[in-house]
Amino acid sequence: MIQELLKAFILIFIAEMGDKTQILAMAFATRYPVKKVLLGIFLGAFLNHGLAVLLGNYISYFIPINTIHIVAGFAFVGFSLWTLKSDGDKDTDEEQKFNFGPVITVALAFFIGELGDKTQLTAITLAISATYPLVILGGTVLGMIVTGGIGIVIGKKLGDKTPDFVIKIMAASVFMFFGITKLYQTLPSEYLNLRNGSIFIGILTIIVLTMLRPMIVRRQQGQESVFRRKSRELYNYYHQVEENIDKICLGLDTCGECRGNNCIVGYTKTLIKNGLEENEPFKQEIFIFREETLNKHYDKEKVLESLRITLVLLKKDLCSNEYDNIHEIRKKLETILFGRSVEHMDSWEEYKRCLIDIDETIAIRIFEAMNH
């Protein structure tokens, strides 16, 4: 029982390291509490892999077990090659299609995103020969939750240090090891000879080199994967704007009594902290800043710089749901500068016009700085 649990956990854990589910987890964590994201991952994976385990266990009643093991061996080899597949510049926008509350949104995204994916097929393959199908289900779901949690940590804490190329190689190697081992143990002896083995290894080598080539070329050209780019951008943004916001307030000598979240700067600090840490999102109605705090003295240049770097990030994808928290920071910075904010940012040109209408001089300064 323990062996089946560990095997299922390890295979799913390795398979999903550096995969799109970690990008989804990272993206959801920028606007939802980590606990709710992980609960959503659990529900989505439980439904997806539960379906897979039922299917796998049902198949075992109709197909000879040795045949099943042979098919499973080839399947694991296939999963190894699939893991090496280059994602290119594909982004993971599945999370933008749903808006049913944090847990249901995450669960739906993970359930649909994993339909037919290698992890679901891995769960089917494991369940086919499992003595305890429910243990397999527990192991696969646990693997999804742990990799999702690591994805959140990587996205928030490690930025661009994620070795995604090495992770893919390691994941592919683990699947290849399990696949070849299973084939060696279950294929009829007449097929296990030097000629067949050489042909098999030769074909695999050609396929692996072909699939690795795009990743190697991207690394040589200095291109980043989507996962690394998003991690780096979010990591750099939050730390840079955090440094600026600490300098915007001129201190108690100038400002007087600190009002914390009832001050617009304190409120903005909480938004930034919400992006940096795995906190429950604060309730909007509790932290209503006092209007008089807008009349306090602030370092205007630091506010301008903070708004500029915020707009540089948002301009790349204005309508991305993963930037909801950053849009809130934008609106608070605008309020500090202008006394009001642009509520909606549906298009870049429309936003520019709105900001120029509010204060043409400052708006032009911001946009000119963005172009340099």
One DSSP character per residue, 17-33 reads: TTSHHHHHHHHHHTTS-
Instruction: Look at residue 352 in the predicted model and tell me its pLDDT.
Output: 92
Q: Mark 193-223 as b/e (b = at least 16 C-beta within 10 Å).
A: eeeeeeeeeeebeeebeebbeebeebeeeee
Let me know whether 203 and 58 are in one domain: yes
Q: What share of the chain is helix, strand, coil (3-state, %, to 5)?
A: 75, 0, 25
Let me know whether 128 and 167 are in one domain: yes
Q: Structural domain tally of the chain? A: 2
Per residue of the chain (372 residues), what is the pLDDT tens digit? 888 888 888 888 887 776 666 666 766 665 567 778 888 888 988 888 888 777 776 766 677 767 767 877 888 788 788 777 755 544 444 444 444 567 887 787 777 666 666 777 778 788 777 778 888 888 888 988 888 888 777 655 554 454 566 767 776 787 788 789 888 888 988 888 999 999 999 999 999 899 888 877 776 666 556 656 666 777 788 888 888 887 776 555 555 556 556 677 778 888 887 776 644 444 444 445 555 555 566 778 888 999 999 999 888 877 776 688 888 889 988 988 888 889 888 889 999 999 999 999 999 999 988 887
Do you know the residue count of the chain? 372
CA distances to 90, 148, 172 from 167, in Å: 18, 15, 9
Instruction: Look at residue 169 in the predicted model and tell me its pLDDT.
Output: 78
How far apart (Å, rounded) are the C-alpha atoms in residues 98 and 12? Answer: 25
Domain around 328 = 228-370
Let me know whether 132 and 111 are in one domain: yes
Let me know whether 31 and 172 are in one domain: yes
Let me know whether 310 and 188 are in one domain: no
Instruction: Give the domain-ending residue among 171, 191, 223.
Output: 223
Instruction: Look at residue 198 in the predicted model and tell me its pLDDT.
Output: 94
Instruction: Look at residue 311 in the predicted model and tell me its pLDDT.
Output: 93
Let me know whether 240 and 301 are in one domain: yes
How far apart (Å, rounded) are the C-alpha atoms in residues 142 and 156? Answer: 21
What the block records as the tokens of 20 is 């799109």
Instruction: Look at residue 285 in the predicted model and tell me its pLDDT.
Output: 42
Q: Mark 136-155 as b/e (b = at least 16 C-beta within 10 Å).
A: bbbbbbbbbbbbbbbbbebb
Let me know whether 358 and 254 are in one domain: yes
CB atoms within 10 A of CB 274: 20
Residue 167 neighbours by CB under 8 Å, 6+ apart: 17, 18
226, 162 contact by CB (below 8 A): no
Let me know whether 58 and 155 are in one domain: yes
Let me know whether 12 and 142 are in one domain: yes
What the block records as the tokens of 85 is 């597949």
**Amino acid residing at 220:** Q
Q: 237 phi and psi, to 5 degrees? A: -60, -55
Instruction: Look at residue 157 in the predicted model and tell me its pLDDT.
Output: 58
How far apart (Å, rounded) are the C-alpha atoms in residues 368 and 331? Answer: 20
Instruction: Give the domain-ending residue among 223, 246, 269.
Output: 223
Q: What is the pTM of this model?
A: 0.49
Let me know whether 50 and 132 are in one domain: yes
Instruction: Look at residue 301 in the predicted model and tell me its pLDDT.
Output: 87
What the block records as the tokens of 192 is 């296990």
Instruction: Look at residue 237 in the predicted model and tell me its pLDDT.
Output: 86
Question: Pick from 110, 333, 325, 77: which is nearest to 211 by CA?
Answer: 77
Let me know whether 218 and 232 are in one domain: no
Instruction: Look at residue 204 in the predicted model and tell me its pLDDT.
Output: 92
Residue 65 neighbours by CB under 8 Å, 6+ apart: 129
Q: Could you give the count of Cα atoms lying within 13 Å of 208 in the half-sphere of its Cβ?
A: 15
Judged on CB neighbours under 10 Å (0-12, 13-18, 19+), 119 is buried
Let me know whether 167 and 74 are in one domain: yes
Instruction: Give the domain-ending residue among 223, 241, 262.
Output: 223
